[in-house]
Structure 1
Amino acid sequence: MSTVSDSNLLVEEVRIDGYSQPVAVRSFRPGRRERRLSIVLYFHGGLFTAGTLDETAAACGTLALEAHAWVLSVDYSLAPAFPFPSALEDAHRALQWARAQAGTVCADKRRMAVAGHDAGGNIAAGLAAVARDRGDICVRAQLLFAPLLDPSMTRVGPDARNAAPKLDALAHAWQAYLPSFAQRIHPYAAPLESRRLAKLPAAFIASVEHDPLHAEAEHYAAALITAGVPTQCERYAETTRNGIAAHTPALLAASRFLQLHLAAG
């Protein structure tokens, strides 16, 4: 384990057993603790095929300090070498590890959440459903920043005609992560195809005004609300799809959402 600290934030790095290979996890904790920490697992973006823990510093640091949380950034296995369900199973093993280690860092295993950006938002949403269905861990909130939720790519917004190269890259990413048709309609990989949304954790969903994919995030928010899941959906205009993961207004709103839904008791 390596450790870096300052007066406000303690950052540590460990490796845990993943689904197909060892997985790096970077831990962020407030330097001062006045009460037990909640627990948040965070998953980086990168279209399922790229991305690193270094990209998550702004999001994880802000959530740790503002929501008084132990935030774990998980470097899940990437496609195409490790297609679905490798990343999702890595995420579930990280969730189990966090619950087992909670007592060592004065964190409360009863107050757990998942979060992610882009492909990481897909993994967070899938993990919320896995935890509900397996019944082994109680996840009480999910934070989805510009999440990828629709492998069919049929719910893109009116800006799509101006984003053809980006959508081509997205199509290749979905093919790498979900090489078979059956995977593309699996509810853990395609949350918008799920007909079982009831009893999922409370959701905060951040979309981006000029992102052609904002429609799928907002469709998912509407579906969660219809299923009775407490949901807050915010669209942000003064950022980009990549920038939303470090956008201060979105992170502060997500932190307030966590404080509300992970309140003790």
Structure 2
Amino acid sequence: MVSTLDLGLCIEDVRITGHAQPITLRSYRPASNGLILPVVVYFHGGAFIGGTLDDADTAARYIARATPAWVVSVGYSLAPQFPFPAAPEDGYRALQWAVCHARAQRADPRRLGIAGHDAGGNLATCVAAVARDRAEVTVSAQALLAPLLDPSMTRIAHHSKTPATLDLYQCARCYREYLPNATQRLHPYAAPLDSWRLAGLPPALIASAQHDSLRVEAETYAAALTRAGVLTEVRRYTETSRDDLATHAEALADLVAFLQRQLREPQPV
């Protein structure tokens, strides 16, 4: 375990057993002034084949300080070396670890949220589905920033005038490396947009970027969640791109406000 202090945050790297290899979690705990904090598990972007804990650092620090919350950032396994289901299974193990260690961090495991950007948005909602199905951990909120949700890529508006920030051919290649078996590209823990079982997922905030041709995935998913009875908020941010949404000030502020509403401490009856 490596621990540092930075402007009121205690930041620690912890190694845990993952699905196919040990993985690193980065814990961000703010000074709570006696408050019991909610828990937020966060997944970085990188199109399933790249990205690191450092890429999530800005968002994780902001969420930890502004909510405030105990944030656990997940260094999940990457394709092609570790294809599906390694990443969502790593995410679920991180979720379990956070619940088990919340009390020691003066945090409440019953006030548990999940969030992510890009591929991390996919993992966040898929891990929420895993948690729903296994009924061992309860997730109370999910916040998805420009999530990748459609491995079949059938819903992309190919003729959109919006310039893409992630090349569509590159995106398809990343999906193939993450999901080498074609049948996996319809698995509900990999392809949320093709899932028929969205009911029972936690309330969602879904953010898309104006300058992202893949935003149709996020907005279509928001509509599907709403039809399934899931409380869903949708935001589209103008003059920004998919990559920049992970550190976009307004998007992060809206994400924190959403988490504050969904993870607030229950009031006594």
TM-score, normalisation: structure 1: 0.97
Measure how far apart 1:264 and its partner are. Answer: 1.5
What is the DSSP-based 3-state SS (H/G/I as helix, E as strand, rest coil) of the residue aligned with 2:240?
coil
Measure how far apart 1:33 and its partner are. Answer: 3.2
Q: 1:192 to 1:224 in 2, by over 3 A?
A: same
- The residue aligned with 1:194 is 195
Measure how far apart 1:210 and its partner are. Answer: 1.6
Measure how far apart 1:6 and its partner are. Answer: 2.8
**Preserved CA contact (<8 Å) 2:2 2:14:** yes
* Alignment partners' CA distance in 1, 2:237 and 2:183: 34
Residues 1:156 and 2:170 aligned together:
no
Residues 1:176 and 2:177 aligned together:
yes
What is the DSSP-based 3-state SS (H/G/I as helix, E as strand, rest coil) of the residue aligned with 1:15?
strand
Runs of 4+ in 1 over 6 A off after TM superposition: none
* Unaligned residue ranges in structure 2 (runs of 5+): none
What is the DSSP-based 3-state SS (H/G/I as helix, E as strand, rest coil) of the residue aligned with 1:151?
coil
For 1:90-101, what aligned pairs fall within 5 Å after superposition?
90-101=90-101
Deviations 1:216-244 (A, max 9, x none): 10000011111111111100013211010
TM-score, normalisation: structure 2: 0.95
* Alignment partners' CA distance in 2, 1:133 and 1:41: 18
Measure how far apart 1:30 and its partner are. Answer: 1.0
* Alignment partners' CA distance in 2, 1:70 and 1:91: 16
Counterpart residue type for residue 220 of structure 1: Y
Measure how far apart 1:4 and its partner are. Answer: 1.3
**Alpha-carbon RMSD:** 1.4
Residues 1:246 and 2:255 aligned together:
no
Counterpart residue type for residue 247 of structure 1: H
Counterpart residue type for residue 132 of structure 1: R
What is the DSSP-based 3-state SS (H/G/I as helix, E as strand, rest coil) of the residue aligned with 1:47?
coil
Measure how far apart 1:161 and its partner are. Answer: 8.5
Measure how far apart 1:136 and its partner are. Answer: 0.4
Counting matched residue pairs gives 265
Measure how far apart 1:34 and its partner are. Answer: 3.6
Of all paired residues, the percent bearing the same amino acid is 52
* Alignment partners' CA distance in 1, 2:162 and 2:229: 34
Counterpart residue type for residue 195 of structure 1: W
**Preserved CA contact (<8 Å) 1:117 1:245:** yes
- The residue aligned with 2:73 is 73
- The residue aligned with 1:43 is 43
